[in-house]
Amino acid sequence: MKLYQKYIIFNYLKNFFIIFLSLEFFYVGIDVLSNYKNFPDSANLQLLYVVFKTLDAVNYSVPLSIVFAMIVTKFGMIKSNELVTLYAIGITKKSVVKPLFFSALTISFIYISLNFTSFAYAYEYSRNLLKYSTIATNSTGLFLKNDNKYIYFKKLDPIKKQATGIKIFSVRDNNLDQIISAKTGYFHEDSWVLKDVTIKTKPKVKSISDKGFTLVKQDKYVTLKDFRPKIIENIHKGEYNMSIIDTIDALSFFASQDINLDRVKTLLYSHLLFPLFAPLLVIILFYRLPISSRFFNVTFLSFVFIFITLSTWGLLFILTKLSSTSVIFPELGVILPISLLGFYALRQYYKEN
């Protein structure tokens, strides 16, 4: 790596962290002031709330900081005439934008990788602390369908992966075939292990000599493979975020079911593709900024580019919400806009000599 590229990366990362921390403190500070009256009584829970809210703020501050840092870095180089000097000694625009783009892309990939973990549930945890003074709440009265089975959970604890009051209704040819009841159950490895189980079977009776209704009791019964507690809870509630792993599991598990999965698809596309708008916007805006401050108003142009960044982010955010509510297809609301930005960024990059 050449010396000027190290210098650009150093300045860019310095500006990124300054802007990132500023946005984090601003977001969390406003939220704390707004919700202070509803804080849990325990000091430990209050601290946890601030931590989770800080993690939740990352979803908003990282993409914006990536673009704002490029704008600040390039304006700093323009005002100090460093950019003109680089161009004067034969360094091309492509060589200058490369360290900015790859730095932005690396940060975006780090952010995307966080969504493979429980980081994705930061908002849910902070909301639960504010409303119930606990990180996770038990879901009650869940009723779901899986293939030819209808499953009911009286109470589900997604953190402990335990449930009580479990009933599984098996239906075949539109007739109730079997009822499995269990007082408790827990998710182990990839299946549910039910305890204190009662199995009631109603076979088809064609003659008076056929075997009729049977009732069997078992201490333990294994069923519902890959029916993960977190997937159950999120599909049932339909309002919170999910990690990338859980969204993939949910899509594969419910693919054959007659269930609208637009929200799950939107979450997956948003986690994987939405953050990429920031490094793409870095390329687009870089080529739109002038190389000298002699012929433009720095303050006004800074405002214009910040406004463009916020408008682009806001538009993509709105399209994501519309996709999540099935107003438009997730592919049109998330994949298409990012693809168009990528195409335009490549066009800007390759048309420069």
pLDDT digits (tens, 9 = 90+) for 222-256: 887 777 777 776 666 555 678 888 888 878 777 76
Taking a C-beta distance cutoff of 8 angstroms, is the pair 141, 236 a contact?
A: no
Look at residues 128, 136, 133, 93 and name the one whose alpha carbon lies nearest to residue 4: 93
Contacts of residue 226, defined as CB under 8 A and 6 or more positions apart, other chains included, come to 190, 191, 249, 253
Q: Rounded CA gap, 241 and 104, in Å?
A: 24
* Greater pLDDT, 112 or 353: 112
pLDDT higher than 70, residue 212: no
Q: pLDDT value at position 153?
A: 85
pLDDT above 90 as % of the chain: 34
In this prediction, residues 17-34 reach a mean pLDDT of 93
Contacts of residue 95, defined as CB under 8 A and 6 or more positions apart, other chains included, come to 5
Q: What is the mean pLDDT of the chain?
A: 85
Dihedral sign from CA coordinates of 300, 302, 303, 304: positive
CA angle 62, 64, 66 (to 5 degrees): 70
pTM over 0.95: no
Distance CA 275, CA 30 (A): 24
Tens of pLDDT, residue by residue over 179-199, are 888 888 888 877 888 888 888
pLDDT band, very low/low/confident/very high, at 157 (cuts 50, 70, 90):
confident
- Maximal CA-CA distance, the chain: 100
What is the structure's pLDDT at 282? 94
| R_g of the chain, CA atoms, integer Å | 27
CB atoms inside a 10 Å sphere around CB 12:
23
Asked if pLDDT for residue 107 goes beyond 90, the answer is: yes
pLDDT at position 178 over 90:
no
Q: What is the pLDDT of residue 85?
A: 86
Residue that wins the pLDDT comparison between 247 and 10: 10
- Could you tell me the residue ranges of all domains in the chain? 3-117+266-350, 139-241
- The mean pLDDT of 99-111, rounded to a whole number, is 95
Tokens of 36: 């202070």
